[in-house]
Amino acid sequence: MAQSALGDGPHSQLIIRGVMLINGNGAPPQGPIDIVVENNIIKKIEVVGYPGVAIKDSSRPQLKPGGKELDCTGMYLLPGFVDMHVHIGGKAQGASPEYVFKLWMAHGVTTVREVGGPGVEWTLDLRKKGDNHEIVAPRIITHTFFGTGSDKPLSTPELARAWVRENAKKGADGIKFLGAPPEIMSAALDENKKLGLHSSCHHAQLNVARWNVLHSARAGLTTMEHWYGLPEALFEDRTVQDYPLDYNYNNEQHRFEEAGRLWKQAAKPYSEHWNAVLDELLGLDFTLDPTFNIYEASRDLHRARRAEWHEDYTLPSLWDFYQPSKISHGSYWHDWGTEQEVAWRENYKLWMIFVNEYKNRGGRVTAGSDSGFIFQLYGFAYVRELELLREAGFHPLEIIRSATLNGAEALGMGDKIGSVTVGKLADFVVVEENPLKNLKVLYGTGAVKLTEDNEVVRVGGVKYTIKDGIIYDAKALLNEVKDMVDTEKKKLNYKILQPGIKE
Ligand SMILES: [Zn+2]
């Protein structure tokens, strides 16, 4: 197949042969199946045989003149992944859109929801280029940071409403909040809902005492990000977090260290109040987008810092950004030790119980990465997110549903993407190994395996990412990223060194 950077296709007809299908709808794997795509639309999904029995060619969909066949015999095919929480690079990180897009696409991420970027015009320009296939990019949904582009603070409900209308007019899909006074949140969410747009919120501590996740859900927020605001909604014997009296929010060691003690201040799992909050959120059709991975360094800094992909795929500027700093956001390990990590492990347990139970009672949980901070690398971190959903108690099929159909539904795009269904867009992930057995096979660096002959090998890594009917060689994309990183390193004579180590 053509290895051109811009992918192969779309084709008047594309037949993907012989796959094991893992659909995003919770169905078990099924195969062998042939999938017929015309341009960017799925036209036919046909079971063509039985396990262990040779497939009869005569019973398979026939290739039309000018069509393209992709032999994926025995490989696993999934719907394209939806990453519900991304930032398209960033100045501080020195990560270009090209770099992050290729890392996402190399990991099967075909749709991203950008929750806050430099501005809606900038993002929509990238979206247009992606939609026109001028660049390699996932489809982009954009939520503008509340207030972006305004020349004055949105200090009244009227100003908030006017900004929301302007944001919609510019073509944004929604708003990303970080919290605001109650009257501003109410007005903005109300106006946004009237316009039919979506919304996301990271309930930052500065406003959470008066407006937590429950207030947001009641006012029509569609998805909550991370977890802040949820323990606060679950408080029973306090109304603010137990801040030490010398706490300063602008000191990120304070901020993250104390956050690690927050869940245990909330109502106990399955207590009356805990159940009541969970059930009310369920009743409001509220979506949880936990982004477990982005906090993982808090419970195991060494793991995040030493991830094997940093050497080849992390840009020097990004590595610099991750280093402990009083300035860079998320670089909070000024003095991070056993005490902080153990507290965070306990924090995770309580958080995961809530998220898993929310799923069990029918709630929508999605997969989001928030990469580019805290040693979490684009694409790789998304796979880690899937692993953490597994740790929270999700069956691998529930994880795939979170990563695909749930994301699509939370975006209001359930009729277009999120499952392999006739009539939907042709967005797929193809991998040679079974990701249900080991999610690690989705990492670009693959999974480690010992062969019968006692040889250590790598297996997996996404093979093809197909978006809009265009086939991308996922490993070629990853190589292009490595080249970018190598070039940067050569230019700067740079070597990745661990914090505090000087050569
Ligand atoms: Zn974020």
Ligand 1 centroid distance, CA of 359 (Å) = 22
Ligand 1 centroid distance, CA of 259 (Å) = 16
The identity of residue 232, as a single letter, is E
DSSP label of 406: I
Ligand 1 centroid distance, CA of 470 (Å) = 29
Ligand 1 centroid distance, CA of 476 (Å) = 28
The answer to whether the beta carbons of residues 317 and 99 sit under 8 Å apart is no
Q: Which of 21, 10, 6 is nearest to 400 (CA)?
A: 21
Which residues on neighbouring strands pair with residue 15, listed in sequence order?
Answer: 36, 69
Ligand 1 centroid distance, CA of 61 (Å) = 44
Ligand 1 centroid distance, CA of 86 (Å) = 6
Ligand 1 centroid distance, CA of 37 (Å) = 35
Tell me the CA distances in angstroms from 120 to 82, 137, 192, 296, one per residue in order: 20, 17, 16, 30
Q: Which residues contact 12 (CB under 8 A, 6 or more apart)?
A: 38, 39, 64, 66, 67
Ligand 1 centroid distance, CA of 116 (Å) = 7
Ligand 1 centroid distance, CA of 83 (Å) = 12
Residue 3: band (very low, low, confident or very high) from pLDDT cuts 50, 70, 90: very low
The answer to whether the beta carbons of residues 24 and 418 sit under 8 Å apart is yes
- pLDDT surpassing 90 at residue 303: yes
Ligand 1 centroid distance, CA of 87 (Å) = 6
Ligand 1 centroid distance, CA of 53 (Å) = 48
**For position 21, what pLDDT does the model report?**
98
Give the mean model confidence (pLDDT) for residues 302-331: 94
The answer to whether the beta carbons of residues 31 and 21 sit under 8 Å apart is yes
Which residues on neighbouring strands pair with residue 14, listed in sequence order?
Answer: 37, 68
Give the mean model confidence (pLDDT) for residues 359-369: 98
Ligand 1 centroid distance, CA of 84 (Å) = 10
Ligand 1 centroid distance, CA of 114 (Å) = 9
Q: What gap in Å lies between CA 326 and CA 494, rounded to an integer?
A: 23
Ligand 1 centroid distance, CA of 85 (Å) = 6
The single residue listed with the structure tokens 């009729």 is: 415
Ligand 1 centroid distance, CA of 122 (Å) = 17
Ligand 1 centroid distance, CA of 17 (Å) = 38
What is the average pLDDT score of the chain?
96
Ligand 1 centroid distance, CA of 498 (Å) = 25
- pLDDT surpassing 90 at residue 7: yes
Ligand 1 centroid distance, CA of 225 (Å) = 8
The identity of residue 447, as a single letter, is A
**For position 1, what pLDDT does the model report?**
39
Our separate counts of H helices and E strands in the chain read 18, 18
Ligand 1 centroid distance, CA of 177 (Å) = 10
pLDDT in tens, 153-200: 999 999 999 999 999 999 999 999 999 999 999 999 999 999 999 999
pLDDT in tens, 435-492: 999 999 999 999 999 999 999 999 999 999 999 999 999 999 999 999 999 999 999 9
Ligand 1 centroid distance, CA of 376 (Å) = 12
- pLDDT surpassing 70 at residue 342: yes
Ligand 1 centroid distance, CA of 161 (Å) = 23
Ligand 1 centroid distance, CA of 18 (Å) = 39
The identity of residue 39, as a single letter, is N
What protein residues have CB closer than 5 angstroms to ion ligand 1? 370
Q: What gap in Å lies between CA 491 and CA 337, rounded to an integer?
A: 35
Tell me the three state secondary structure of residue 313. helix
Ligand 1 centroid distance, CA of 115 (Å) = 6
**For position 91, what pLDDT does the model report?**
87
**For position 176, what pLDDT does the model report?**
98
The single residue listed with the structure tokens 């062998």 is: 32
Neighbours of 325 (CB within 10 A): 15
Ligand 1 centroid distance, CA of 50 (Å) = 45
The identity of residue 41, as a single letter, is I
Ligand 1 centroid distance, CA of 311 (Å) = 24
Q: What gap in Å lies between CA 280 and CA 313, rounded to an integer?
A: 43
**For position 90, what pLDDT does the model report?**
83
What the block records as the tokens of 426 is 């042709």
Neighbours of 189 (CB within 10 A): 25
pLDDT in tens, 35-92: 999 999 999 999 999 999 999 999 899 999 999 999 999 999 999 999 999 999 888 9
Ligand 1 centroid distance, CA of 420 (Å) = 29
Q: Which residues contact 253 (CB under 8 A, 6 or more apart)?
A: 332, 333, 334, 335, 336
Edge-first strand order for the sheet with 223-225 is 81-86, 109-115, 139-145, 174-177, 198-201, 223-225, 287-289, 364-365
**Portion of the chain with pLDDT greater than 70, in percent:** 99
**Portion of the chain with pLDDT greater than 90, in percent:** 95
pLDDT in tens, 92-124: 999 999 999 999 999 999 999 999 999 999 999
Nearest 5°: CA angle at 390, between 224 and 23? 85
Residue 330: band (very low, low, confident or very high) from pLDDT cuts 50, 70, 90: confident
Which of these ranges, 330-334, 422-426, 430-434, has the smallest mean pLDDT?
330-334
CA Rg value for the chain: 23
| 346: exposed, middle or buried (Cβ count in 10 Å: 0-12, 13-18, 19+) | middle
Ligand 1 centroid distance, CA of 291 (Å) = 9
What the block records as the tokens of 467 is 């978006």
Ligand 1 centroid distance, CA of 77 (Å) = 29
Give the mean model confidence (pLDDT) for residues 304-328: 95
Ligand 1 centroid distance, CA of 227 (Å) = 12
Ligand 1 centroid distance, CA of 400 (Å) = 22
**For position 6, what pLDDT does the model report?**
82
Ligand 1 centroid distance, CA of 295 (Å) = 11
- pLDDT surpassing 60 at residue 151: yes
